[in-house]
């Protein structure tokens, strides 16, 4: 219920803040979860002023932000294009508790990959591994997408190989990203092979995959395969 209110926009976020104020003087008292939901709402609508106010209020009430709360704030800073602030915030997390987890690194790596700052993204990836945070499908997907958009399909395949060697299975989002990359770069045969592996791994495809592959075959004028798909 609270999540729906916050995600409704700034006006509804203000209503929730009003309710939070009412609860303080009434029967109910706010807790870390309520503050986290409210912080998430302000971060999603890119209102860092209100997010900062909630953060300080939360601390003032004696609540210690956990890793979930920290990750929300980190993502909010990046969403609002406050990258230098996000890096400083991340460094504070490393110096104090809670230490960054896989989600924290993924948030940062995703933003760097979107800017095609792959060297920095890979640097944080290895830092994550060195800190005993085991990479998951999400962070591998971020890196593969970043390299793919940078026309480095060789690195995409290398990461896919490493991913499997580490025992990290691709999930639906990974396959979607790979097929999208392959079809956008007019590599429909590779996309079909990836599509078959996805089915073998028990992931149900949607018509969206067929549309991407058909379009890719059409672009290279292989109408026979387009019809077959």
* pLDDT (tens digit per residue) in 15-71: 655 655 555 555 567 788 888 988 898 898 888 998 999 899 889 989 999 999 999
pLDDT range class, residue 202, cuts 50, 70, 90: confident
Residue 157 pLDDT: 92
Residue 89 pLDDT: 94
- pLDDT value at 145 more than 90: yes
The structure's pTM equals 0.81
Delineate the domains of the chain, giving CATH numbers in brackets. 1-99 (1.25.40.10)
pLDDT range class, residue 5, cuts 50, 70, 90: very low
* pLDDT (tens digit per residue) in 153-172: 899 999 999 998 988 888 98
SS (H, E, C) 23-42: HHHCCCCCCHHHHHHHHHHH
What is the rounded CA–CA span in Å between residue 21 and residue 33? 15
Residue 31 pLDDT: 83
CA-based torsion, 103, 107, 113, 117: positive or negative:
negative
- pLDDT value at 7 more than 50: no
């Amino acid at each position: 219920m609270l999540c729906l209110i916050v995600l409704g926009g700034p006006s509804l976020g203000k209503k929730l803040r009003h309710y939070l104020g009412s609860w303080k003087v009434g029967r109910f008292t706010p807790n870390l979860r309520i503050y986290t939901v409210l912080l998430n709402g302000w971060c999603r609508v890119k209102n860092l002023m209100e997010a900062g106010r909630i953060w300080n209020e939360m601390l003032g009430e004696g609540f210690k932000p956990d890793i979930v709360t920290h990750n929300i704030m980190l993502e909010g800073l990046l969403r609002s294009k406050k990258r230098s602030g996000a890096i400083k915030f991340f460094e504070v997390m490393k110096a104090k508790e809670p230490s960054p987890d896989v989600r924290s690194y993924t948030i940062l790596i995703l933003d760097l990959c979107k800017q095609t700052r792959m060297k920095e993204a890979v640097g944080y990836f290895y830092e994550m591994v060195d800190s005993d945070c085991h990479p998951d499908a999400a962070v591998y997907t971020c890196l593969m997408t970043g390299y793919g958009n940078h026309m480095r399909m060789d690195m995409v395949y290398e990461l896919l190989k490493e991913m499997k060697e580490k025992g990290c299975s691709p999930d639906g989002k990974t396959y979607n990203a790979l097929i999208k990359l392959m079809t956008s770069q007019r590599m429909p045969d590779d996309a079909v092979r990836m599509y078959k592996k996805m089915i073998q791994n028990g992931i149900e495809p949607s018509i969206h995959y067929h549309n991407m592959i058909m379009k890719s075959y059409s672009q290279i004028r292989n109408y026979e395969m387009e019809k077959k798909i």
